[in-house]
Amino acid sequence: MTTKVLISDKISAAAIDIFKRRGVEVDYKPGMTKDELIACINDYAGLAIRSATKVDKDVLAAATNLKVIGRAGIGVDNVDIPAATARGVIVENTPFGNAITTAEHAIAMLFAAARQIGAADASTQAGKWEKNRFNGVELYNKTLGLIGCGNIGGIVADRALGLKMKVVAYDPFLSPERAVEIGVEKVELDELLARADAITLHVPLTDKTRNILSAENLAKTRKGVLIVNCARGGLVDEAALADLLESGHVGGAAFDVFKEEPAKENVLFGKPNFTATPHLGASTTEAQENVALQVAEQIADYILTGAITNALNTASVTAEEAPKLAPFIALSEKLGAFAGQIADEGLEAIEIEYEGEVAAMNTKPMTATILSGVLRPLLADINMVSAPSILKERGVPFDEVKRDISPTFDSLIRVKVKTGGGFRTLAGAVVGGQPRIVEVKGMALEAAFLPTMLFVNNSDKPGFIGALGMMLAEAGINIATFNLGRTGEGEDAVALVGIDQAVPADVLARINALPQVRYVKVLKL
Supply the DSSP string of 472-492, one letter for each residue. Answer: HHHTTPPEEEEEEEESSTTSE
The gap from C-alpha 18 to its chain's centroid, in whole angstroms, comes to 30
493 contact partners, CB below 8 Å, separation of at least 6: 443, 457, 458, 459, 460, 464, 484, 485, 486, 487
Q: Are 481 and 450 a contacting pair, CB within 8 Å?
A: yes
Distance CA 376, CA 371 (A): 8
92 contact partners, CB below 8 Å, separation of at least 6: 68, 69, 70, 71, 295, 298, 299, 302, 308, 309, 310, 311, 312
**Complete edge-to-edge strand list for the sheet that includes strand 398-403:** 398-403, 349-356, 411-419, 422-431, 434-440, 443-448
Overall residue count recorded for the chain in this entry: 525
- Nearest residue to 243 via CA among 279, 278, 204, 215: 215
CA angle 129, 131, 133 (to 5 degrees): 105
Pairing mode, if any, of strands 5-7 and 46-49? parallel
Torsion of CA 351, 353, 359, 365, to 10 degrees: -40
- 380 to 95, 101, 266, 373, 397: CA distances (angstroms): 12, 21, 25, 10, 21
Q: Are 230 and 105 a contacting pair, CB within 8 Å?
A: yes
Distance CA 403, CA 44 (A): 45
pLDDT of residue 315: 65
Q: What is the CA radius of gyration of the chain?
A: 25
Does residue 26 carry a pLDDT above 70? yes
First-to-last C-alpha distance (Å) of the chain: 36
DSSP H or E segment with residue 102: helix 99-115
pLDDT of residue 380: 66
Does residue 383 carry a pLDDT above 70? no
Stretch among 72-76, 120-124, 406-410, 426-430 having the lowest mean pLDDT: 72-76
Mean pLDDT of 129-157: 95
pLDDT of residue 317: 59
Burial 136-152 (b: 16+ CB within 10 A, else e): bbebeebbbbbbbbbbb
Burial 359-368 (b: 16+ CB within 10 A, else e): bebbbebbbb
Does residue 471 carry a pLDDT above 80? yes
Domains of the chain: 5-96+286-311 (3.40.50.720), 99-276 (3.40.50.720), 322-440 (3.30.1330.90), 451-525 (3.30.70.260)
- 67 to 86, 95, 281, 449: CA distances (angstroms): 12, 20, 30, 29
Mean pLDDT of 154-159: 97
pLDDT of residue 74: 81
Burial 373-396 (b: 16+ CB within 10 A, else e): bbbbbbbbbbbbbbbbebbebbbb
Q: What is the pLDDT of residues 159-197, one digit of tens each?
A: 999 999 999 999 998 999 999 999 999 999 999 999 999
- 362 to 312, 359, 367: CA distances (angstroms): 19, 8, 10
Distance CA 359, CA 352 (A): 11
* Omega before residue 278 within 30° of 0, cis: no
Q: Strand pairing partners for 352?
A: 400, 415
Q: Are 221 and 192 a contacting pair, CB within 8 Å?
A: no
Report residue 376's pLDDT band, with 50, 70 and 90 as the boundaries: confident
pLDDT of residue 394: 83
- Mean pLDDT, the chain, rounded, equals 92
Q: What are phi and psi of 29, to 5 degrees?
A: -135, 65
Burial 203-238 (b: 16+ CB within 10 A, else e): bbbbeebebbbeeebbeebbeebbbbbbbbbbbbbb
Q: What is the pLDDT of residues 224-275, one digit of tens each?
A: 999 999 999 999 999 999 999 999 999 999 999 999 999 999 999 999 999 9
pLDDT of residue 381: 62
pLDDT of residue 1: 65
pLDDT of residue 320: 65
Q: Are 367 and 400 a contacting pair, CB within 8 Å?
A: yes
**Cβ atoms within 10 A of the Cβ of 164, count?**
11
187 contact partners, CB below 8 Å, separation of at least 6: 145, 168, 169, 170, 195
- Nearest residue to 37 via CA among 16, 59, 56, 57: 59
**Cβ atoms within 10 A of the Cβ of 465, count?**
15
Give SS3 for 279: coil
Q: Strand pairing partners for 424?
A: 417
Residue type for position 216: E
DSSP H or E segment with residue 83: helix 81-86
pLDDT of residue 403: 95
Residue type for position 405: I
Catalytic annotation, residues = 232, 260, 279
Pairing mode, if any, of strands 90-92 and 46-49? unpaired
Give SS3 for 324: helix
